[in-house]
């Protein structure tokens, strides 16, 4: 921090004047932005060298940089702005919000706990990203700063994951397991399933019904007959009314089929879009979970990979039905991108891939049929 203060102290007057603007701009940026903002270049209308005035007549004596007075911090408590607990990008504020959320949880005030945890999670996530970006910037330039910022990034990431876990528990307590699942998977991907927090997150997925194998598995577990969890009561995501489940997506497909039989294509389109989203989310989550266990527990990794493939197959079938609905509504421009997605996902040699390509041929998007008809010779 002393190095940072020295740099600020030695900036020329123009840099001191524009510094607050740059700092405010950096706080407004979002976490997901990985590309640095475009550099703003201030170009004076005339180049003025040290000791020369704009009109060239009056000389201004050069002021040594060391004699420039630092800008007032405006603090009376001795704390720098980002060390105050009321600052939106303050580590102290994130900790305070997490503590208040824990108190709210004990009182079963889930609404307040959820609000505080969401804000704390956002603060820790931003801080972790910013620290990591600063660490990468100083890598190879000043390893002390780079290592220090990397350590800060790891510490705030740990707090982010702990906050994320508490938020997932709140969603579960509010009977919204579909909101808890993506949070728990994020923790597993960040922490690794072998860590304490990663293990707790995975077991929460088992309790919710998203996974059906406990970890760690028994040493004598049979790959051909894995020890699946057999709860006495249906788990939340296995209920018939669950949104984030294969059964939930299939129910939406059945409703869409009934709407098509009644030629209610508007309702059918809505139901198919919802089912497609469910299957796509499931396929993505299962694949992420499979990747997390790859090289750690092959039985869980393979089982989750198979679930990802099954969900992707249902997604593509739903996408095909949705494309047919668009064609029935005389909207071929909406059907084409869906059919292309199926061909890419399925491969043109599969039954569904061939049917999707045939639809593209009938719509006039492609000129060559596939498979090509055999020659009469």
Q: Could you please report the per-residue DSSP string of 258-317?
A: HHHHTT-HHHHHHHHHHHHHHHHHHHHHHHHHHHHHTTT-HHHHHHHHHHHHHHHHHHHH
pLDDT given at position 102: 95
pLDDT given at position 23: 35
pLDDT given at position 20: 40
Q: Report how far residue 322's alpha carbon sits from residue 338's, in angstroms, rounded to the nearest whole number.
A: 8
pLDDT given at position 340: 98
pLDDT given at position 297: 95
For 243-363, CATH number?
1.25.40
Residues 300 and 213 sit within 8 Å (Cβ to Cβ): yes
Return the SS3 of 191.
Answer: helix
| Alpha carbon 135 to chain centroid, angstroms | 22
pLDDT given at position 375: 63
Q: Report how far residue 137's alpha carbon sits from residue 377's, in angstroms, rounded to the nearest whole number.
A: 68
pTM of the model: 0.76
Residue 225 β-bridge partners: 222
Query: What residue ranges of the chain are covered by domains with CATH 1.25.40?
Result: 243-363
Q: Report how far residue 144's alpha carbon sits from residue 142's, in angstroms, rounded to the nearest whole number.
A: 6
Give the per-residue SS3 of 130-174: HHHHHHHHHCCCCHHHHHHHHHHHHHHHHHHHHHHHHHHHHHHHC
Average pLDDT per 10 consecutive residues for the chain, totaling 377 residues: 40 38 37 35 36 43 52 60 78 94 95 97 97 97 97 97 98 95 97 96 96 89 84 80 90 96 95 97 97 96 96 98 96 97 96 97 95 69
Q: Report how far residue 228's alpha carbon sits from residue 44's, in angstroms, rounded to the nearest whole number.
A: 71
């Amino acid at each position: 921090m002393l190095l940072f203060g020295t740099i600020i102290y030695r900036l020329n007057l123009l840099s001191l004047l524009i510094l607050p603007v740059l700092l405010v701009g950096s706080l407004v940026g979002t976490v997901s932005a990985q590309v640095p903002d475009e550099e703003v270049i201030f170009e004076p209308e005339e180049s003025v060298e040290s000791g020369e005035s704009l009109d060239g007549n009056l000389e201004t004596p050069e002021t040594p940089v060391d004699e420039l007075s630092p800008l007032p911090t405006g603090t009376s408590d001795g704390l720098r702005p980002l060390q105050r607990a009321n600052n939106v990008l303050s580590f102290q504020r994130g900790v305070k919000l997490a503590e208040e959320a824990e108190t709210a949880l004990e009182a079963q005030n889930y609404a307040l706990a959820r609000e505080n945890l969401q804000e704390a999670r956002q603060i820790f996530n931003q801080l972790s990203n910013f620290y990591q970006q600063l660490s990468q910037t100083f890598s190879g330039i000043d390893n002390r700063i780079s290592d220090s910022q990397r350590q800060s990034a790891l510490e705030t990431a740990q707090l982010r994951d702990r906050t994320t876990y508490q938020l997932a528990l709140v969603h579960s307590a509010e009977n919204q397991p579909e909101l808890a699942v993506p949070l728990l998977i994020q923790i597993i991907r960040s922490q690794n399933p072998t860590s304490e927090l990663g293990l707790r997150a995975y077991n929460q997925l088992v309790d919710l019904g998203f996974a059906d194998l406990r970890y760690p598995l028994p040493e004598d577990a049979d790959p051909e007959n894995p020890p699946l969890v057999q709860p006495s009561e249906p788990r939340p995501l296995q209920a018939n009314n669950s949104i984030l489940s294969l059964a939930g997506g299939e129910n939406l497909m059945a409703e869409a089929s009934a709407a098509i039989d009644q030629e209610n294509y508007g309702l059918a389109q809505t139901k198919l879009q919802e089912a497609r989203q469910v299957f796509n989310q499931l396929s993505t989550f299962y694949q992420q979970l499979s990747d997390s266990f790859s090289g750690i527990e092959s039985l869980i990794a393979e089982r989750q990979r198979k679930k990802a493939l099954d969900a992707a197959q249902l997604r593509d079938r739903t996408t095909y039905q949705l494309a047919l609905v668009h064609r029935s509504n005389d909207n071929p421009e909406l059907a084409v991108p869906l059919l292309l997605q199926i061909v890419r996902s399925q491969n043109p040699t599969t039954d569904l891939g061939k049917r999707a390509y045939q639809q593209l041929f009938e719509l006039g998007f492609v000129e060559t049929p596939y498979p090509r008809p055999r020659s009469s010779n």
